[in-house]
């Protein structure tokens, strides 16, 4: 969910760490459950913005729903991968705090796995500006389903020297004069993986990208041993259980 840190330099490094591995990110990160997106969208939505779109994981879901999508992404590597995978989408260079779109254009602004990187007060003001009255902000996070014991153990084992304890995305943590009350709902989700592809997914997480190589190798080796010894993951493909948290708020 939201993973704050008091170390601003580390936060900045992590937020800018994804572009060099954009192809791996696109290949291995999970998408989002359609029911979570539908819950977030206002009735009759047609024009939506995928903000901090990365390589277009959420963009792909939105296109499947026959929505007109404008994708906004600041990282050149991620933006290039998005354009390669979704060549028909309007994909613009921009940040949440300065969105390169006119006032009142969008029925919804959606953010997948990125709301925690924003300067929230400035970003919420900008998101409100580009939304139509009655439009929606929708933030989504995929997380490990820690109700499954082996998933909880695997998740604990991948913590690194720069991991942080996440801050709750509970609606009471957010307010802005341009938005009504924030609401939260969770949805079960899953991703088909093998042990190798799950390790490749974990390697795309920012806290593993920025740590020293010897620490990263040691963590991934330890996790590989865990998966090889775990009956649910030792052979072939399996579904990695996820929980998708969705946050929504309506533009006044």
- Per-residue model confidence (pLDDT) at position 8: 60
Mean pLDDT, residues 145-149: 98
Mean pLDDT, residues 62-83: 97
Q: Residue 196: pLDDT above 50?
A: yes
Instruction: Tell me the pLDDT of the chain averaged across its residues.
Output: 91
DSSP state of 6: S
Shortest CA distance to 145 belongs to which of 55, 46, 242? 242
- Per-residue model confidence (pLDDT) at position 18: 57
Distance CA 228, CA 25 (A): 23
Rg for the chain, CA atoms, rounded: 18
Going by pLDDT thresholds of 50, 70 and 90, the confidence category of residue 4 is very low
Look up the CATH superfamily of 8-145+164-191+241-250.
Vaccinia Virus protein VP39 (3.40.50.150)
Between 158 and 132, whose confidence is greater?
132
Q: Which tokens is 122 given?
A: 């400035």
Distance CA 142, CA 58 (A): 11
Q: Residue 59: pLDDT above 80?
A: yes
- Per-residue model confidence (pLDDT) at position 117: 87
Counting other chains too, the contacts that 185-188 makes at CB distance below 8 Å and 24 or more residues apart are 185/36, 185/39, 185/245, 185/246, 186/243, 186/244, 186/245, 186/246, 187/33, 187/35, 187/36, 187/39, 187/243, 187/244, 187/246, 188/33, 188/145, 188/241, 188/242, 188/243, 188/244
Q: Which tokens is 242 given?
A: 């996820």
Sequence spans of domains, the chain: 8-145+164-191+241-250
Mean pLDDT, residues 56-76: 97
Shortest CA distance to 17 belongs to which of 159, 162, 157, 141? 162
- Per-residue model confidence (pLDDT) at position 26: 93
Distance CA 112, CA 118 (A): 12
Mean pLDDT, residues 136-160: 96
Distance CA 61, CA 42 (A): 16
Q: Do 193 and 142 touch, CB atoms closer than 8 A?
A: no
Mean pLDDT, residues 57-76: 97
- Per-residue model confidence (pLDDT) at position 167: 47
- Provide the b/e sequence for 37-69 (b: ≥16 CB within 10 Å): beebbbeebeebbbbbbbbbbbbbbbbeeebeb
Q: Which tokens is 222 given?
A: 């330890």
- Per-residue model confidence (pLDDT) at position 17: 52
Overall pTM > 0.95: no
- Per-residue model confidence (pLDDT) at position 169: 65
Between 102 and 172, whose confidence is greater?
102
Distance CA 46, CA 138 (A): 15
Helix axes 213-229, 149-157, angle to 10 degrees: 160
Q: Residue 14: pLDDT above 50?
A: no
Q: Specify the residue for token string 């006032």.
A: 103
């Amino acid at each position: 969910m939201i993973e704050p840190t008091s170390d601003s330099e580390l936060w900045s490094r992590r937020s800018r760490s994804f572009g060099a591995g954009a192809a791996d990110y696109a290949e291995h990160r999970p998408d989002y459950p359609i029911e979570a997106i539908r819950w977030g969208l206002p009735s009759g939505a047609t024009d939506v913005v995928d903000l901090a779109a990365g390589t277009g994981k959420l963009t792909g879901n939105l296109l499947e729903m026959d929505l007109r999508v404008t994708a906004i992404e600041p990282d050149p590597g991620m933006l290039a991968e998005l354009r390669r995978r979704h060549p028909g989408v309007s994909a613009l260079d921009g940040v949440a705090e300065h969105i390169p779109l006119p006032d009142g254009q969008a029925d919804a602004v959606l953010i997948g796995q990125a709301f925690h990187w924003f300067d929230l007060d400035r970003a919420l003001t900008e998101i409100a500006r580009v939304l139509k009255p009655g439009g929606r902000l929708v933030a989504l996070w995929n997380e490990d389903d820690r109700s499954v014991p082996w998933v909880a153990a695997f998740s604990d084992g991948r913590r690194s020297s720069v991991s942080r304890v996440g801050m709750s995305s509970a609606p009471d943590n957010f307010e802005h004069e341009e938005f009504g009350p924030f609401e939260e709902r969770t949805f079960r989700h899953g991703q088909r993986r093998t042990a190798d592809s799950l390790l490749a997914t974990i390697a795309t997480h920012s806290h593993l990208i920025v740590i020293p190589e010897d620490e990263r190798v040691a963590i991934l080796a330890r996790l590989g041993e865990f998966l090889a010894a775990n009956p649910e993951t030792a052979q072939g493909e399996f579904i990695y259980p996820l929980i998708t948290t969705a946050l929504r708020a309506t533009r006044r």
